[in-house]
Structures are given as C-alpha cells and as structure tokens.
Structure 1
Amino acid sequence: MSRLAAQLGVAVLATGLTILPVTAQADLTLTFGTYAADKPTDTVRKYRPFLNFLAERMSAELGETVTIKMKIAKEYEAGIDQLASGEVDFARFGPASYVLAMKQNADVQLVTMESKKGSKRFKGVIVVHEDSDLQSVEQLTGRSFAFGDELSTIGRYLAQSHLLEAGISGAELQDFAYLGRHDLVGEAVGAGRFSAGALKESTYKKLVTKGVPIRVLMSFDNVTKPWLASANVSPRVVEAMRRVMLASENEEIVRQISKNGFLEGTDADYDFVRQAMTRSNLF
C-alpha cells in the first residue's frame, strides 16, 4: 500500500485506510524575455541579479518557490512575438515594443513602469561626431543618419518624428540605415560612417566615457520602459510581481535596473509614442 501511495502521490493516514491527496504546492518557473538593445553579455550581466532578487521576493509573496529563467531575443521583433504568444512569461520592453505587442495580443498585461527621479520620462539623443560642423537638426539635409532597430522607440520612431518636425524626411537625407543596437549607432557616428544617429542617453554617456568622439545635437523625451506579463500569467502572479517591484524598501539591486525604482502605469502613458509611430510612417 505504501509503495502504491507513493506512486499515486497520496498519503495514507497511520490510523486507518483513508487515502488523502497530497496538497503540496508545485514550484513556479517563469521565463523573463527581452531583446539585446546592447551587447547580449551586458544584457545578462545587467538583469540576472535583479531577476534572482525578484524570484526570492515573489517566493515569499506567493508561498512557493519561484525560479526565473532568461530568454534573450537577438532582434526586437522576435522578443515582441515571444511575449505576445506567451513563449515568455514577462518582459522589459521599450515603449514602441509594448505598443506593438498590444497590437498582437490585447491581453498583454502592464505590470509596472520604470521611474526616472519620480518621473515617467527620460531622454533620447541625436548625436554627431564631436568635430562635426552641424549645430541643428535642420542642417541634416543632405547628410547621412544612423537609426537603431526598425522597431526601436528612440532609435527609430521618436527620432524620425523629430526629423519630420524639422522638415527632414528620408528623401532629404543623403543616406540612412538601421544598425540595430544603440551602441552600434554611437560607434558608427564616432567612426565617421554617418553624420548623425539616434540612441538612448545612457548609452551615449557610456560611449563618451569609453572615448567615442560624439556629442549631442539634440535631446528629446521618451516615456520610461514598461515591464509586461503575457496573457497567460495569472493575476495572482502578476499582482505578486507588482507588489515586489513597487515596494519602497527595495534594495540597491533594484536601482541597477531602474535607478529610481518603479511606478504604477497605465496604457494611456504610451499614447504619445503611438502618435510618433503613426507620424514616422511619413518618413
């Protein structure tokens, strides 16, 4: 009987023959997905400590052991597809990728937004070589431009929106190309391969520290990154994740991901990105 009970996953009471089902809770394994906006090795190094922290805190919240795996997509589109289809359970995306994921699956869940000194905005930049004669975006007519990924908020949609506001479409540029990662854009401009390029401010600062000869031509607002859960993740798990990320007592490890922690967000926070994406169709 004991061997049979073990095989069937049941417990036999010592005082009789009553058989009860075992009620032990199964462990929870989640897969975190993102795409490599910078070098993949840097992406892993950046996220792993925070994901370990998140798993530990969620385990306490849920009363079961939570394990978090990572899946890094090489391209934005693959990362978006993985979240929309439920291949990954949660993700950190750029704003445009969130908008595109919602188009694929309207049940994608917004968990939190990153905070920048208590704000939901941060900066993107258009850069030129430090020795460039360019002093304004309007002077880019007839010059070359490096964009990031074709689905990048800063690296494409917002940059193209601001170029259009300055009267410059793709036809007015001598040449333009999509280079993928933000660091590749900055390095290409620093090497003189393009007259200007668009990248996030934090990557610009890292490149300057490394000695890449670039300077800011203009900066512009972007909304902070959303953390998202797939439609397949239960509300109970999403709420536990949200409570951990919004907790005021979060340690220094959280600030390695989001310098000032996290904020509650709504879909409407991303409306101005939707508008820029629509405008960029005219580029």
Structure 2
Amino acid sequence: MNVFEWTFGIIALFRTRLRQAASGAVLAAWLAALLPAAGFAGTELVFGTYAADKPTATVKQYQPFLSFLAGRMSEELGEPVSIRLKIAKEYEEGIRQLASGEVDFARFGPASYVHVMKENPGIRIIAMESKNGQKRFKGVIVVHADSTVQSVADLAGLSFAFGDELSTIGRYLSQEYLLDSGISSADLMEFAYLGRHDLVGEAVGAGKYTAGALKESTYKKLVAKGVPIRVLASFDNVTKPWLASSEMPDDVLEAMRKVMLSSENEEIVRRISKNGFLLGDDQDYDIIRRAMERSLAF
C-alpha cells in the first residue's frame, strides 16, 4: 500500500478523532499510537468496482463515501481502518477480483452479483441500496429525440446499442423487454455491445444506433449535458448490492453493515445511495436470474 492509499482511509479517522479529542495532549497521544514507525496497524480493505461510466467520474463518486465509511468503521472496530479503491476496466474483471478475494468488498450490478455467486458462493450481501425505501428502480430504452419510433415493436429492422455483455440493464433486462415486445436479435438490422452506459446514450444521440439501453440516472445526466435522446420504454431493475468477499472477517462485515444501515441521512451517503441502504437477501435477485435465462433466447 502506498502513502496515498494509506492516507485516504486515515484522513477520515483523523477528522473523527479531532472532533472527539478533549485536548491537544490527548490528540498527540492518539496520533503517536496510530502512527508507529514500523507502519500501519489496523484493518486494511480494498474496495472494488467497475467503470460503468468514465473512470474519473467513478473515482469522484466513491472517494468521499469510502473516506466516511473508513472513519465510522474505525469507531465501531476500535482500530484504524483504511480503504483503497480499485477500479476494474470491465465487468468480468471486477467479478473475478471479488470472487478471488483480490478485493475485500464491492458494489456490483445485480447481474454481476448472480455471476459472482456462481464463481464463489461464499460471497455475502452487506446491504442493498435503497430507492425511496424500495429495492427497485428503472432502466430505460432510449431513442434520438427526433426519432419517429414510437414503440419498441417499431425497432424491427433497425439498430440497437447494448451496454456491457454482463450488464443487468445494458443487456439482460433490456433483451428480456425486447423479447416480450416481439423483438429478437434476428429482427434487428444491427446490434452491438458498447460497454459503458454513457457510451450507449451518446451513440444513440449521435445517430449511430436507433435505440439503446442504459440506466435512468445516466440518461438524465446525458440529457442535462444536451445529448438529444428521449425515453422510449422503461422497466424495473433491482437496486445494487454491496458485497463482501468470502474472506472478510465477520466482525468487519458487521461493522460495515451497521454503519451503512444507520447512515441514510448523511449527505455523503446520499451521493452514493440517495435513500441510504436496506438489508438484502439472495432472493431479491430472482427476477434478474429470470431475465438472464430469458435473454438466452435473444
């Protein structure tokens, strides 16, 4: 771990102790105990995710929350906690990293959760993100703002942009929705997997594809930036799970879960999950398993 990675997790703890310290002497004694010459003493964690949007945006999104989480977990565990961020370029790499224990915990899309559980059944759900107190939110199929297409059935003979081949919205749920509307790959003139959600929306806005699937939040960001797209259809998705590797100690997992479930009113938390977190269960993702099976017919 380099000095920047170490400092990232510790800064939040410094701030916490600064608030708690009754005097400069107390703080000095605590710092002396925390910073032994031999190096870091405490819990070191690696958080993994994949870049569904631009990597720079991913770093900006997660850093404040991970610093907050490290500080609160330090209080719960009674020892300093550091968290290092590791971004995988692709979904498949992120799944491998969590399954193998290369990262200690991760934020995944629902389909990636199903995949990682197949590779390592010992993976555990820490919590699920809350959407207005619920575990569902929307994925969307978009077309150009000036498109004459009025229904998904009208896409026959036209082109479609999907996200990553392992994406919940970008592939599985959108393909299930197309199939339910009578559209399979054979009915399309062309289709492609573009990877990130923002790339899908931008490609449709540029007229490269007639339609595409992406998450609703990315759609709103692109429209705000002036990308000329509109929603053709929407469908339900399950909120994202935060997952612990099979190797994470139980006390660390419980401390993390406690912090996440009790922090819904924290501004930093709302930037990650607007309405905080909920307890999750494997059965919450059964609709995703169904969509993944259904998409095989696409």
TM-score by length of 2: 0.86
1:89-143 deviations in Å (ceiling 9; x for gaps): 0000000000000000000010000000000000000000000000000111000
Query: Hey, what's the Cα distance between the residues in 2 that align with 1:240 and 1:73?
Result: 26
User: What displacement does 1:249 show?
Assistant: 6.2
Tell me the matched-pair count. Answer: 259
The equivalent residue for 1:180 is: 195
Deviations 1:130-177 (A, max 9, x none): 000000001110000000000000000000000000111101000000
Pairing 1:186-265 to 2, within 5 Å after superposition: 186-248=201-263, 250-265=265-280
What secondary structure does 2:115 align onto? helix
Q: Give 3-state SS (helix, strand or coil) of 2:150's partner.
A: coil
Question: Structure 1 residues 206 and 166 mapped into 2: Cα distance closer, same or farther (>3 Å)?
Answer: same
Shift of 1:251: 1.3
Q: What is the rounded CA distance, in whole Å, between the counterparts of 2:83 and 2:67 in structure 1?
A: 7
Q: Report the TM-score when normalising by structure 1.
A: 0.90
- Within 5 Å, which residues of 2 pair with 1:1-283? 26-248=41-263, 250-283=265-298
CA distance in 2 between counterparts of 1:164 and 1:158 reads: 10
Q: Is the 8 A contact 2:263 2:269 kept in 1?
A: no
Q: Which has the larger radius of gyration?
A: 1
Partner amino acid for 1:267? Answer: D
> In structure 1, how many angstroms separate the alpha carbons of the residues matched to 2:258 and 2:104?
17
The structure richer in helix per residue is 2
Which structure 2 segments of 5+ residues have no match? 1-39
- State the superposition RMSD in angstroms: 0.9
How far apart, in 1, do the equivalents of 2:255 and 2:281 lie? 18
Moved over 6 A (4+): none
SS at match of 1:58: helix
Shift of 1:26: 3.6
